[in-house]
Each structure stands twice: as C-alpha cells, then as structure tokens.
A and B are shown apart, each in its own frame.
Chain A
Amino acid sequence: GAVVSQHPSWVICKSGTSVKIECRSLDFQATTMFWYRQFPKQSLMLMATSNEGSKATYEQGVEKDKFLINHASLTLSTLTVTSAHPEDSSFYICSASVSSNRAKNIQYFGAGTRLSVL
C-alpha cells in the first residue's frame, strides 16, 4: 500500500518552455502532498506544501509564479515549471502524506522527475 506515482520520470526541454509533473497517490487519498527539489549529493529541499482544494503554501525563496502547483483532487497534484531555464534543471520529487493515530507525518515519495533544461 501507500504507492505514489510520479510522471514523467525524466524530461528534457528547451529553455523558455513549461513542464508539468504529475504526482498521484494510487491506493490512498492524500489530503496533503509535498514537492521537493534535490541537487546531486544533497538533501531534499521542500518547495511547497499542497492541500487539496486550496492554494499551495510555498517555502521561503520559492517563486510561486515560477513553480505552479495544483492539487485538484485527493489523489493528484501537479507541479508546473513555467518558462524553464537551465538553472531549473534538477531532480523534483513529490510525496503524499498519510495520517493516522500512530503515523501522523509519514510521507510516501514518488520516484522523482529528472528535469534537464537545455
């Protein structure tokens, strides 16, 4: 259980184009999803917290107009990198939170999306 699917796994795009990444919880409903960015040999940096039906909460320093997040249903959140530039090249990972009495904060992660902007 608790499978999170992320698509695409790898995308190459031209500078100035937009890229959409999808994150789906396959076998559970996730009221909260998270988007992270990870550079090589570094830890995960939280970009934003996405709650179903409401606006995403962005971390300090993350441009909300650059990284558009939509959480239209309890099983789907999308991240759109708008007008991508080479410095946006990175590994983007989503997670979905499962809340229970014991495990209130467990996040289950997607496989990540490698974005390369030429």
Chain B
Amino acid sequence: GESVGLHLPTLSVQEGDNSIINCAYSNSASDYFIWYKQESGKGPQFIIDIRSNMDKRQGQRVTVLLNKTVKHLSLQIAATQPGDSAVYFCAETGGGQGGKLIFGQGTELSVKP
C-alpha cells in the first residue's frame, strides 16, 4: 500500500557541543523506556534505558531524563562527536505485555566537524 513519507526532525550540532534529543510519549502506563541509535543502513543499537521510577540515568557520555508529568523523555549527549551522527529513536513499553516496544518517529542528529 501507499506509505506516507514523513520528514524526520533533524538536529545539527557542532562537534564538541552537547546535544539534546527530545521525545514525547503518549501512554502514561509505559513503565520502561529505551533510547536507540540507528546508523544509515544498519539496525538500531541500544544506548540507554530508564524505568519509570527514575527521572534520570547516566551512561558514558549520555544521560536520559524522564518527566512523567508531561510524558517527556530526553537524551543528552555530551561532547558530541562525528560518530554520533545517526537517527535516534525513543521507545516505550506502552504498558502492554509481551515485551513489545512502541517506537517514536526518530530524530536525525548531524554533527558538523
């Protein structure tokens, strides 16, 4: 069938700057969230996750913030590098069973050298 093309939101940052990628989720019953990175022509790669009983979690150069009040998730990347250029997806459980994830539309991050 016909697919409707959507333009991915894009974020362009200078190498070395910090990046903030945002995601709004819809299901207040979601209790687990994951950020994935997808490079062109490849499968998504796990970056970091967070449970709904937390509002912040840090990894190596990345931090995820969760605001359940407004159903907002963000991914912060410190000292962005050219290798960080990719599409970033947030995913939520949607409160359902069976381990299914609901993916957001994605944000394309472009890092300028």
Contact = CB atoms under 8 A, between A and B. Distances in A.
Interface of A: 2, 4, 6, 32, 34, 39-44, 46, 49, 57, 87, 93, 95, 97, 99, 102-112, 114
Interface residues of B, number: 27
A20 B45 CA distance: 23
Contact of B101 (A2, A40, A105): A105
B99 A43 contact: no
A72 to B, nearest CB: 19
Contacts of A106: 34, 46, 49
Interface of B: 1, 3, 5-8, 32, 34, 36, 41-46, 49, 51, 89, 93, 98-101, 103-106
Given A108-B46, A110-B43, A114-B41, A43 B105 contact: yes
Given A41-B6, A44-B44, A93-B43, A105 B93 contact: yes
Nearest to A37: B3
10 contacts: A41-B8, A43-B103, A87-B1, A93-B43, A104-B99, A106-B46, A108-B46, A109-B43, A111-B42, A114-B41
